[in-house]
Amino acid sequence: MKCQHCEKPATFHVTEITGSEEEREVQEVHLCEICFREYISQPEEPVEPAASLLGALAQQFKIGKTAEKLAKLDAQTCPVCGISFQEFRQVGRLGCPHDYQSFGDELEPLLLNIHGAVEHKGKRPKRGASQRQGELLRLRREMQEAIEREDYERASELRDEIRGREVD
Amino acid sequence: MKLDDMTQRCGEWLRGSGPEADIVMSSRIRLARNLADFPFIRRCTPVDRQAIVKAVDKRVLKDAARKDAGLDKILLIDVNKLERVDRQFLVERQLISRELSESEGAAAVAINESETFGLMINEEDHLRLQVMHSGFDLTGAWERISRIDDFLEAKLTYAFDDRLGFLTACPTNVGTGMRVSVMLHLPALVLTRQLEKVFRALQKISLAVRGLYGEGSQASGHFYQISNQITLGRSEEELIEQVSDVVPMIIEYERKAREFLIKESQKDLHDRVSRAYALLCGAQTISSEETMDLLSSVRMGVNLGLIHDLEIPVINKLFIHTQPAHLQKIRGGSLDRADRNIERAMYLRQNLRPDGNGSSKN
């Protein structure tokens, strides 16, 4: 087989894969060594930056938001764990499972950006448990706060309630 | 089973068997899971962190039925109680992440005897399960980890949302919480400078390429990990398929590049491999980077039949055992860089020389 770019025998057979995942296009290219070197040193169209979370976050929040609106978003906190949206935005880690609800409106476009989807497909736990999720978290935090303000009566009430639930 | 005993052996995933093991070093699947009753790690109090380790130990690792789930002979290691060198040792063996090794507050890892299963507790998520198999065996790894996951789920309440799936501390892992990765040894693609092209194609179909030690690590020893980026909106089987579809193509590219090198420049290749082997057998002091590089050439040389008196598992082991913490554990004391380089050269000579300062087989 001859090189597609000159007359020399082709020694490199490249399979080019282009297109999206759904429509993968495969193209065979046959080249001699010299043409091959040239071929691979060609700059390609720039590759989109990898799905880096902080990058995606920054991108999403720059678009169409006034400073005032941003500040308001940042000040939101999760009622269960107390993390602010600003903290999440800075470190890229959420504070508790409930944040996915608390910051749902902001997370939705982010998830779409990262995963191209917002609905889980795949394995599900056999035991349905979503009802009580978050409650223990909230109670523990309330107990912690009660201790901090030295309201020991409330703290011990909360402790009993937590114990009762932990047994379930 | 104790941590110190591990210096005498190596993880079963290094044994160099399984499909396509000349190019595929290992197949790994990890699942990120969180307990519904605790905040994510960032908001955990020290008491929460201890309670999580305790809950996993009591309800899972000490459960009578654990053996049926394939959780036999498990060693639970309290990472906090480990010396720095021991933490690094576990990182080098791919049993814990750098993040866990640097964690403050209760953190642990449970591993099985063959080191093919690991469960990190209190890493970025409460639980990070991993199964690692030798060669190209994602299906086997998935069957195993899914079974262990079922067992854990029966004992602990996972944070799960009907719409979003398994909830994770970082939104990049939500959904399946699954990372599927295959570690490939691609020296010929590096030599023929085709690698970048292959990787650019991978990025287009949203697969990630990382080095030997995961995120942000250098691709030393010409090892590359291919893994999925997306975790939400596709089932576990689909995610596995996405990686499984592309790996044979990369293997094929690597084989073609090897054939090309043999055909077009066999003398050069043979020379490179033989020199690498000779250096490893004769060096008196050698850095970790140079070792990885030379071992990579030797590994390819053995696979191409250019070296006859060496076996792949021996080389696989050397990639891991010549790293800093391993050398110090084997030697039994702390060594500075210069001493490590001397120790490394000695260890290599002992393990490689066919005439036997130490055996060439483990």
B270 lies in the same domain as B175: no
**pLDDT < 70 stretches in chain B:** 1, 213-219, 354-362
Sign of CA dihedral B69, B72, B78, B83: negative
Q: Does B159 reside within a domain?
A: yes
Confidence at residue A56, expressed as pLDDT on a 0 to 100 scale: 74
B173 lies in the same domain as B40: yes
Q: Does B196 reside within a domain?
A: no
B36 lies in the same domain as B168: yes
**Minimal C-alpha gap between B350 and chain A (Å):** 41
A86 lies in the same domain as A55: no
Mutation site, B164, B195, B256, B268, interface A, largest A CB count within 10 A: B164
CA atoms within 13 Å, Cβ hemisphere of B281: 17
Contact A129, B167 (CB under 8 A): no
> What domain range is A45 assigned to?
1-59
Q: Which of A12, A80, A100 lies nearest to residue B164, judging by beta carbons?
A: A100
Which residues of A fall within a CB distance of 8 Å from B235?
A: 121-123
Instruction: Tell me whether residues B229 and A50 touch, CB distance under 8 A.
Output: yes
B176 lies in the same domain as B46: yes
> What domain range is B317 assigned to?
266-352
Q: Does B205 reside within a domain?
A: no
**Minimal C-alpha gap between B51 and chain A (Å):** 12
Closest residue on chain B to A13 (Cα): B256
Instruction: Tell me whether residues A53 and B149 touch, CB distance under 8 A.
Output: no
Instruction: Tell me whether residues B171 and A114 touch, CB distance under 8 A.
Output: yes
Confidence at residue A46, expressed as pLDDT on a 0 to 100 scale: 36
**Minimal C-alpha gap between A151 and chain B (Å):** 20
Confidence at residue B310, expressed as pLDDT on a 0 to 100 scale: 92
Single out the residue in B182, B206, B241 at which a domain terminates.
B182
A54 lies in the same domain as A69: no
> pLDDT digit string (tens) for A57-82?
777 766 667 778 888 888 999 998 99
Could you write out the DSSP letters of every residue in A115-153?
HS--S--S---SS--TTTTTHHHHHHHHHHHHHHTT-HH
Q: Does B236 reside within a domain?
A: no
Which residues of A fall within a CB distance of 8 Å from B201?
A: 16-18
**What CA–CA distances, in Å, run from B268 to A28, A70, B283, B290?**
28, 61, 22, 19
Confidence at residue A24, expressed as pLDDT on a 0 to 100 scale: 54
Closest residue on chain B to A12 (Cα): B260
Alpha-carbon distance of B150 to B169, in angstroms, equals 21
Q: Which of A93, A115, A141 lies nearest to residue B232, judging by beta carbons?
A: A115
% of chain A beyond a pLDDT of 90: 24
B47 touches A at CB < 8 Å: no
Comparison of pLDDT for A135 and A111, the residue scoring more: A111
Q: Which of A14, A47, A96 lies nearest to residue B200, judging by beta carbons?
A: A47
CATH number of the domain residue B150 falls in: 3.30.590.10
**Identity at B324, one-letter amino acid code:** P
Q: Does B238 reside within a domain?
A: no
Does residue A109 have a pLDDT over 60? yes
Single out the residue in B182, B217, B245 at which a domain terminates.
B182
Single out the residue in B182, B213, B229 at which a domain terminates.
B182
Alpha-carbon distance of B341 to B287, in angstroms, equals 5
Beta strand B117-121 with B24-33: parallel, antiparallel or unpaired?
A: unpaired
Contact B76, B110 (CB under 8 A): yes
A106 lies in the same domain as A155: no
Q: Does B272 reside within a domain?
A: yes
| Residue for token pair 């523990």 | A140
> pLDDT digit string (tens) for A114-125?
999 999 999 999
**What CA–CA distances, in Å, run from B58 to B53, B67, B78?**
9, 15, 14
Average pLDDT over residues A159-164: 82
B173 lies in the same domain as B274: no
> Which is nearest to B66 in space by CA: B154, B178, B160?
B154
Alpha-carbon distance of B182 to B184, in angstroms, equals 6
Q: Does B255 reside within a domain?
A: no
Alpha-carbon distance of B216 to A93, in angstroms, equals 18
Single out the residue in A39, A59, A79 at which a domain terminates.
A59
B205 touches A at CB < 8 Å: yes
Tokens in use for A73? 């978003």
A142 lies in the same domain as A99: no
B163 lies in the same domain as B39: yes
A116 lies in the same domain as A134: no
**Minimal C-alpha gap between B357 and chain A (Å):** 44
Instruction: Tell me whether residues B232 and A118 touch, CB distance under 8 A.
Output: yes
How many other CB atoms are there within 10 angstroms of residue B184's CB atom? 23
Confidence class for position A136, pLDDT limits 50, 70, 90? confident
Which residues of B fall within a CB distance of 8 Å from A117?
A: 175, 230, 232-234
Alpha-carbon distance of A115 to B218, in angstroms, equals 26
A32 lies in the same domain as A72: no
Q: Does B122 reside within a domain?
A: yes
**Minimal C-alpha gap between A53 and chain B (Å):** 7
Does residue A44 have a pLDDT over 50? no
Does residue A99 have a pLDDT over 90? yes
Does residue A22 have a pLDDT over 60? no
Instruction: Tell me whether residues B233 and A17 touch, CB distance under 8 A.
Output: no
Name the domain count of chain A.
Answer: 3
Q: Chain-wide mean pLDDT for chain A?
A: 77
Instruction: Tell me whether residues A119 and B232 touch, CB distance under 8 A.
Output: yes
Comparison of pLDDT for B114 and A133, the residue scoring more: B114
A89 lies in the same domain as A50: no
User: How distant is the alpha carbon of residue B283 from its chain centre?
Assistant: 27
Angle of CA points A168, A155, B103, to nearest 5°: 75
Name the domain count of chain B.
Answer: 2
Comparison of pLDDT for A95 and B204, the residue scoring more: A95
Confidence at residue B12, expressed as pLDDT on a 0 to 100 scale: 85
B39 lies in the same domain as B152: yes
